[in-house]
């Protein structure tokens, strides 16, 4: 997929992967527009082959919202691929991601961007850490255990990599090795490339429409495989300690 011309490119691209989120996506787009009003931004919604009215709702909104762009997969490829599609197509050098179900609060996005810009070029990612999570007890317990194990083994200092709300530099993201579910390992992979990461508390909201696309058991099996893979990538990394042009 070709990237749009960079003429008058926005500073920030908000990338939102959506799958069967007809009830949440249009309202979320309006919230994002309000949160980033007065800034140089675009929204890139990536429809991951939804089976409901998600695509039609976004296309209708696109006609009245010039900041909105809608990209669409021909077949379902998962959240990480949808994020990558959005980043590849984005025109901004700063990327903000958030989940398409409306649980992440777009109002927190600008503060992550400001922290990223203030941190210097070696700060590649500022991640959100959800405060007072509005999920089931079982999901919160599973997340706490998973985050604890991952943090100990990968030493990425992140308490909540499952939070979809993140701000990062597009160039840094595209340096990372792609694999399915990469979005949960961005802090560790950024550190592997020699970048710094930081984290800020963000709001979390109840899901009011649709249903979760994940189960605790399903996530457990893929997480074990992914965790071993990222540990292998870390073990094979070599740091040149900087580059000089002679």
If you average pLDDT over every residue of the chain, what do you get?
90
Report if pTM > 0.85. yes
Dihedral angle of Cα 173, 102, 82, 190, to the nearest 10 degrees: 20
133-192 pLDDT per residue, tens: 766 676 766 667 777 777 788 988 888 888 999 999 999 999 999 999 999 999 999 999
Q: Are 14 and 21 in contact (CB under 8 A)?
A: no
Which comes out higher in pLDDT, residue 10 or 211? 10
pLDDT of 221 higher than 80 = no
63-85 pLDDT per residue, tens: 899 999 999 999 999 999 999 99
pLDDT of 201 higher than 60 = yes
* Structural domains of the chain sorted by starting position, each given as residue range(s) with its CATH number in brackets: 12-235 (3.90.550.10)
3-state class (DSSP) for residue 183: helix
> Which two structure tokens, joined as six digits, stand for 6?
């960079």
CA distance 233 to 132: 33
Look-up: residue for tokens 């749009």?
A: 4
What number of other Cβ atoms are within 10 A of residue 243's Cβ? 5
14-40 pLDDT per residue, tens: 999 999 999 999 999 999 999 999 999
């Amino acid at each position: 997929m070709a990237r749009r011309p960079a003429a008058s490119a926005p500073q920030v691209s908000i990338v939102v992967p959506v799958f069967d989120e007809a009830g949440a996506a249009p309202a979320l787009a309006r919230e994002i527009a309000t949160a980033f009003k007065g800034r140089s931004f675009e929204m890139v919604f990536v429809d991951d082959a939804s089976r409901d009215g998600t695509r039609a709702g976004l296309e209708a909104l696109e006609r009245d919202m010039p900041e909105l762009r809608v990209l669409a997969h021909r077949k379902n490829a998962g959240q990480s691929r949808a994020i990558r599609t959005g980043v590849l197509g984005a025109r901004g050098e700063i990327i903000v991601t958030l989940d398409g179900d409306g649980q992440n609060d777009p109002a927190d996005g600008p503060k992550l961007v400001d922290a990223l810009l203030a941190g210097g070029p070696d700060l590649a990612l500022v991640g959100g850490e959800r405060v007072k999570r509005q999920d089931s007890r079982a999901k919160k317990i599973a997340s706490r255990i998973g985050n604890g194990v991952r943090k100990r083994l990968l030493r990425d200092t992140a308490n909540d990599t499952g939070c979809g709300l993140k701000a990062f530099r597009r160039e840094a993201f595209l340096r990372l090795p792609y694999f399915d579910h990469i979005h949960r390992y961005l802090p560790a992979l950024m550190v592997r490339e020699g970048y710094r990461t930081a984290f800020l508390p963000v709001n979390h909201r109840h899901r009011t429409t649709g249903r979760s696309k994940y189960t605790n058991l399903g996530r457990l099996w893929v997480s074990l495989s992914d965790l071993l893979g990222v540990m292998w990538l870390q073990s094979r990394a070599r740091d040149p300690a900087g580059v000089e042009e002679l």
